[in-house]
């Protein structure tokens, strides 16, 4: 979230390179923690969760968020230094939409029958 907000123009006074050196590994580490814990949570009621519409939609958003981040970093470099500002804003909006959508759908799973 903070990295995307920086790409959208917040904290312009903070050097982007310094933020990226901290935030990119932190985001990757967070994902590495979230995936196995999510799999453990899923394993408890896998059949039930699979039947809920929100679950595959959540997985699709997570996959899209991961692919978006990996593609951007492979294409434009670790600090995305090779990208135009408009491209960075688009990437940030896609990323925010994917991750916030996945969070919202995760919460909706708890209320689905």
Share of the chain above pLDDT 90, in %: 65
pLDDT value of position 113: 66
The rounded distance, in Å, linking the Cα atoms of 101 and 58 is: 7
Determine the structural domain holding residue 46 and report its residue range: 2-111
Number of domains in the chain: 1
Mean pLDDT of 24-40: 93
> What is the secondary structure of 54-98 as a DSSP string?
HHHHHHHHHHHHHHHHHHHHHHH-TT-TTS-HHHHHHHHHHHHHH
Q: Please give the distance of CA 69 from its chain centroid, rounded to a whole number.
A: 7
Mean pLDDT of 80-108: 93
The whole-model pTM stands at: 0.87
Mean pLDDT of 48-61: 92
pLDDT value of position 69: 93
Tell me what the pLDDT averaged over the chain comes to: 92
């Amino acid at each position: 979230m903070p990295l995307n907000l920086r790409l959208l123009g917040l904290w312009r006074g903070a050097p982007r390179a310094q933020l990226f050196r901290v935030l990119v590994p932190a985001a990757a580490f967070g994902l590495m923690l979230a995936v196995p814990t999510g799999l453990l949570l899923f394993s408890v009621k896998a059949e039930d969760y699979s039947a809920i519409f929100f679950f595959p939609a959540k997985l699709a958003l997570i996959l899209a968020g991961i692919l978006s981040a990996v593609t951007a970093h492979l294409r434009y470099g670790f600090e995305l230094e090779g990208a135009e500002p408009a491209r960075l804003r688009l990437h940030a909006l896609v990323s925010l939409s994917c991750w916030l959508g996945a969070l919202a759908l995760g919460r909706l799973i708890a209320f689905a029958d």
